[in-house]
């Protein structure tokens, strides 16, 4: 009996260990695969051409700068919409609204996150893009701005959900202490609750941005996919082509093992690196904040 | 007691109706293994036509099952090279290197011209421009003409719309219009040309936006956009695309549509391809807005 128990214990701990490590292993394997398929691009295309400004793969123009720029500008735009609205919504749900409203609002917001991105893309093409063209008097509504607004909408549920959890976890005593010291409700929220929850809020923002930069279908439908190098603020009102949309649009047609195929994987590596940098920065910042608050408390 | 009878009656009737279904199938005289499957894949331009053909052919010949998928000419030919389809649809001719890799894999592609397609240049109905020469369209798409007033329209910026680079229509338009059929010419699309992933995307943007110019297969053009007349050069007449003008060779942006098989077809596949070229199947071509191949 004792031996049996030891055995099952051993087995279970190992299984849990394996599933824990599997996440790391899978990410590692995916990265190795991406690099293996993408690295030949560096040998086949001179580096100067690869960081060029013209993307037209069927004529061997493999400049990826317009695509990287396109992804960045759409993501930055999305962050500009999603962060204020997302944090604001989270603050409202957690700090201002009564308990019963929170129980309705939070599931509703999270349901918004379950909307298929194709549906949002359709709404973008049929409603948002024509509206933007008329309202801002642009040549066309299929611009980075349309993509940013929709991506902002996609990342808001993520930001709200995670940030609200973080705010909710701030101990009641913090707020009570603030109010007892004579702080107004706004001062309590802005100076006490939000700073206390900032590591969670920061995670929420990073997750939201990660969601936005990796989104494909919606941006492919509404940003116009023109590989223009975005320079200056004006670029938000022009069509752009993102890395994800490029991979999605072209991967289906490309001959296996061709230069174009390798370059598409190289773009995948770049995308992976960008997400990695965002995540590592986020965890580094969160870690630093934690250390500091622990120092203060001790 | 009566409850039981009812239940038994229900069970019996279900069983009988099941029987009916079975006998119905066996009167067709089809043991399951005699059904022939034909895999048909490729050009998105042809996919609706191929589907219509497959449907009406299956209603005449229930022993043949035809599955049709799109994905683009390149996808279809790639599948042909890998031997995973029986018929590849293409809106362009097979390239030399594709032909060679197919032969290297042991499949010898046989070509059939199955219909003709004209590419219509479309603009918003509010735009007063009615006609353009090939040279003007080329200048618009390459970025040297940027305002409608330069081609006789209002003072509006031009928004260029195109299919994605993996579309056969895109490559055809590049070669025939932008480069005016000259293989030495290396004009490219202006970088701010919007590359839309679907025909519907182009039609809906043109319908909505008076600045836009787009192109699409004649079969996909709806009545709420304006088709413009195209002239080969400044001294030749402006021709609107139609079945008559395409078959007469007058409309300058028209092309043949192809099906490719691996090796000389036989049996059901051969019968299907022969039927496609018959007058009956070619009337379907006309119904879908393509141009039938004139059978000699």
Tens of pLDDT, residue by residue over B48-79, are 889 999 999 999 999 899 999 887 788 889 89
Inspect the interface and report whether the beta carbons of B157 and A241 lie closer than 8 Å.
Answer: no
Of A99, A205, A219, A108, the C-alpha closest to A158 is A205
DSSP output for A112-144: HHTS-HHHHHHHIIIIIHHHHHHHHT-S-S-SH
Give the distance from CA B85 to its chain's centroid: 17
Is B253 in contact with B218 (CB distance < 8 Å)? no
Examine the pLDDT at B33 and tell me if it is beyond 60. Answer: no
Is B142 in contact with B158 (CB distance < 8 Å)? no
Is B194 in contact with A239 (CB distance < 8 Å)? yes
Strand partners, B6: none
**Residue in A140, A239, A253 nearest the CB of B74:** A253
Q: What is the pLDDT of residue A35?
A: 92
Query: What is this model's ipTM?
Result: 0.79
Residue of B nearest to A57 (CA): B165
The SS3 call for residue B231 is strand
Other residues' Cβ atoms within 10 Å of the Cβ of residue B4: 8
User: What are the extents of the domains in chain A?
Assistant: 33-297
> What part of B 176-205 touches A (C-beta under 8 Å)?
186, 188-189, 191-197, 201, 204-205
Inspect the interface and report whether the beta carbons of A130 and B197 lie closer than 8 Å.
Answer: no
Q: Tens digit of pLDDT for each residue in B230-280? A: 998 888 899 998 878 888 888 999 888 999 998 888 888 999 999 998 988
Q: What is the pLDDT of residue A279?
A: 82
| Mean per-residue pLDDT, B26-37 | 59
Packing angle of the helix pair A144-168, A198-214 (nearest 10 deg): 150
Query: Lowest-pLDDT range, A179-183, B15-19, B104-108, B222-226?
Result: B15-19
The SS3 call for residue B277 is coil
Other residues' Cβ atoms within 10 Å of the Cβ of residue B111: 14
Inspect the interface and report whether the beta carbons of A140 and B72 lie closer than 8 Å.
Answer: no
Would you say the C-alpha torsion B61, B67, B71, B72 has a positive or negative sign? Answer: negative
Q: What is the pLDDT of residue B19?
A: 45
Percent of chain A with pLDDT over 70: 95
CATH of segment(s) A33-297: 1.10.3720.10
How far does the CA of residue B53 sit from the closest CA of chain A (Å)?
A: 25
Residue of A nearest to B101 (CA): A255
Chain A residues with beta carbon closer than 8 angstroms to that of B157: 139
| Mean per-residue pLDDT, B197-223 | 87
Q: Does A140 touch chain B (CB under 8 A)?
A: yes
Is B58 in contact with B281 (CB distance < 8 Å)? no
| Mean per-residue pLDDT, A228-240 | 87
How far does the CA of residue B119 sit from the closest CA of chain A (Å)?
A: 21
Chain B residues with beta carbon closer than 8 angstroms to that of A253: 71-72, 74-75, 166
Query: Lowest-pLDDT range, A247-251, B26-30, B187-191, B201-205?
Result: B26-30
**Residue in B159, B166, B171 nearest the CB of A249:** B166
B4 compared with A131, residue with greater pLDDT: A131
Examine the pLDDT at A278 and tell me if it is beyond 50. Answer: yes
| Cβ burial, residue A73 (10 Å; 0-12/13-18/19+) | buried
Q: Tens digit of pLDDT for each residue in A45-67? A: 888 888 888 898 888 889 999 99
| Mean per-residue pLDDT, B122-132 | 93
> What part of A 20-79 touches B (C-beta under 8 Å)?
54, 56-59, 61, 66
Q: What is the pLDDT of residue B5?
A: 57
Compute, in degrees rounded to 10, the torsion defined by CA atoms B13, B16, B21, B25: -170
Examine the pLDDT at A109 and tell me if it is beyond 80. Answer: yes
Q: Does B262 touch chain A (CB under 8 A)?
A: no
Distances (CA, A) of A248 to A97, A202, A233, B73, B214: 42, 30, 27, 17, 22
Examine the pLDDT at A182 and tell me if it is beyond 60. Answer: yes
Distance CA(B42)–CA(B51), nearest Å, equals 12
A281 dihedral zone (left: phi>0; alpha: psi -120 to 50; beta)? alpha
Residue A221: which residues within 8 A CB-CB, separation 6 or more? A118, A121, A122, A124, A125, B197, B201
Query: What is the pTM for the complete model shown?
Result: 0.75
Distances (CA, A) of B190 to A56, B26, B124, B133, B159: 10, 61, 21, 18, 11
Q: What is the pLDDT of residue B10?
A: 54
Q: Does A129 touch chain B (CB under 8 A)?
A: yes
Residue B234: which residues within 8 A CB-CB, separation 6 or more? B133, B135
| Mean per-residue pLDDT, B214-225 | 86
Q: What is the pLDDT of residue A296?
A: 60
Examine the pLDDT at A297 and tell me if it is beyond 70. Answer: no
Chain B residues with beta carbon closer than 8 angstroms to that of A242: none
Residue A208: which residues within 8 A CB-CB, separation 6 or more? A79, A82, A83, A86, A155, A156, A158, A159
pLDDT tier, B176 (very low <50, low <70, confident <90, very high otherwise):
confident
């Amino acid at each position: 009996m004792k031996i049996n128990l030891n055995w099952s214990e051993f087995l279970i701990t190992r299984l849990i260990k394996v599933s824990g490590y599997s996440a790391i292993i899978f990410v590692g394997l995916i990265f190795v695969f991406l690099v293996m398929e993408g690295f030949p691009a560096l040998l086949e295309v001179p580096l100067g051409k690869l960081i060029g400004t013209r993307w037209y793969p069927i004529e061997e123009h493999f400049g990826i700068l317009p695509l990287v720029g396109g992804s960045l500008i759409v993501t930055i735009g999305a962050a500009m919409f999603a962060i204020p609205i997302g944090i604001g919504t989270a603050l409202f749900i957690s700090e201002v609204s009564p308990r019963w409203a929170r129980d309705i609002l939070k599931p509703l917001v999270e349901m918004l996150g379950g909307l298929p991105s194709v549906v949002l893309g359709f709404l973008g093409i049929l409603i948002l893009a024509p509206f933007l063209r008329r309202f801002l008097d642009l040549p066309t509504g299929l611009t980075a701005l349309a993509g940013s607004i929709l991506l902002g909408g996609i990342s808001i549920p993520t930001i709200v959900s995670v940030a609200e959890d973080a705010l909710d976890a701030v101990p009641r005593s913090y707020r009570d202490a603030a109010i007892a010291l004579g702080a107004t409700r706004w001062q309590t929220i802005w100076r006490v609750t939000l700073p206390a929850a900032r590591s969670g809020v920061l995670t929420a923002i990073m997750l939201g941005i990660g969601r936005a930069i990796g989104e494909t279908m919606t941006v492919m439908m509404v940003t116009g996919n023109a590989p223009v190098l975005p320079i200056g603020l004006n670029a938000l009102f022009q069509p752009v082509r993102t890395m994800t949309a490029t991979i999605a649009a072209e991967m289906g047609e490309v001959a296996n093992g061709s230069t174009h195929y390798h370059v598409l994987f190289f773009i995948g590596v770049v995308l992976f690196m960008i997400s990695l940098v965002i995540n590592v920065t986020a965890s580094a910042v969160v870690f630093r904040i934690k250390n500091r608050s622990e120092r203060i408390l001790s | 007691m009566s409850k039981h009878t009812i239940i038994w009656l229900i069970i019996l009737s279900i069983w009988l109706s099941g029987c009916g279904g079975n006998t119905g199938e066996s009167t067709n005289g089809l043991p399951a293994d005699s059904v022939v499957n034909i895999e048909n894949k490729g050009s998105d331009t042809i996919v609706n036509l191929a589907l219509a053909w497959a449907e009406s052919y299956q209603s005449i010949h229930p022993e043949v099952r035809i599955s049709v998928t799109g994905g683009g000419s390149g996808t279809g030919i790639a599948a042909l090279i890998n031997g995973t389809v029986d018929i590849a649809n293409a809106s362009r001719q097979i390239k030399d290197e594709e032909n060679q890799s197919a032969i290297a894999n042991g499949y010898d592609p046989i070509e059939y011209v199955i219909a003709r397609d004209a590419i219509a240049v479309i603009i918003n109905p509010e735009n007063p421009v009615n006609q353009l020469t090939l040279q003007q369209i080329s200048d618009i798409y390459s970025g040297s003409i940027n305002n409608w007033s330069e081609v006789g329209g209002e003072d509006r910026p031009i928004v260029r719309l195109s299919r994605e680079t993996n579309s056969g229509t895109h490559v055809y338009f590049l070669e025939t219009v932008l480069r005016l059929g000259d293989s030495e010419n290396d004009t490219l699309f202006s970088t701010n040309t919007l590359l839309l992933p679907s025909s519907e995307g182009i039609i809906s943007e043109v319908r909505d936006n008076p600045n836009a110019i787009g192109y699409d297969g004649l079969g996909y053009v709806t009545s709420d956009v304006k088709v413009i007349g195209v002239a080969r050069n400044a001294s030749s007449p402006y021709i609107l695309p139609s079945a008559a003008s395409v078959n007469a060779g007058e409309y300058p942006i028209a092309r043949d549509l192809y099906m490719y098989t691996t090796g000389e077809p036989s049996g059901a596949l051969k019968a299907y391809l022969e039927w496609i070229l018959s007058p009956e199947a070619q009337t379907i071509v006309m119904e879908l807005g393509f141009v039938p191949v004139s059978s000699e």
